[in-house]
Structure 1
């Protein structure tokens, strides 16, 4: 078996596997057990779609068509840096609490 596709997440891997199976290619999604240490965090880059050696070239053609048919906005984006709102609220609450405790009445 060969890896025909490395998906961003398991949902995308199952979509690709379903696409390949709809075209008569036996596909298997691997990497489910690699996310065990992450718990509820959405794992990425662990999921792969495997196909038989004989079906590899046809599977890559279908995956290529799938990737070309996706709109540009569906392509993976580089996360932009932005401040964490929860950290700001925590620091504000901490500052107010300390101010209330340390400032004499």
Structure 2
């Protein structure tokens, strides 16, 4: 078996493993129990997806498509910074009103 993908966390590992299984590629997700040793801390870097040697090339193709679609989704969502700007303006107005109220 070879490591086809190193996920950032166990949730992503199972998502990618499900994607591979949907494409008839048998997988093994390693690192399930290693993350439990970290407690409440979000442990990263322990989750690996293993595939058989003969499935490695096709698994990497599916994973490459997954990674490309993730980048496209992140690029589309980059325009969603407006809630942050609204929050900044709200806090600025709130601070100005507080200063005015304190000076009265």
Q: Identify the structure with the greater helix proportion.
A: 2
Asked if TM exceeds 0.5, the reply is yes
| Correspondence for 1:11 | 11
Q: Partners in 2 of 1:69 and 1:2 — Cα distance?
A: 24
SS in 2 for 1:65: helix
1:26 paired to 2:26: yes
Q: Partners in 2 of 1:74 and 1:11 — Cα distance?
A: 18
- In the comparison of the two structures, how many residue pairs are matched? 75
The runs of at least 4 consecutive aligned structure 1 residues that moved more than 6 Å come to none
Specify every segment of 5 or more residues in structure 1 that has no aligned partner in the other structure, as ranges: 76-105
SS in 1 for 2:33: helix
Question: Which region of structure 1 is more displaced relative to structure 2, 65-74 or 31-40?
Answer: 65-74
Q: Partners in 2 of 1:52 and 1:13 — Cα distance?
A: 16
| Correspondence for 1:43 | 43
Aligned-pair Cα RMSD in Å: 1.7
Alignment TM-score, normalising by the size of structure 1:
0.66
SS in 1 for 2:29: strand
CA positional deviation for 1:73: 6.5
Alignment TM-score, normalising by the size of structure 2:
0.66
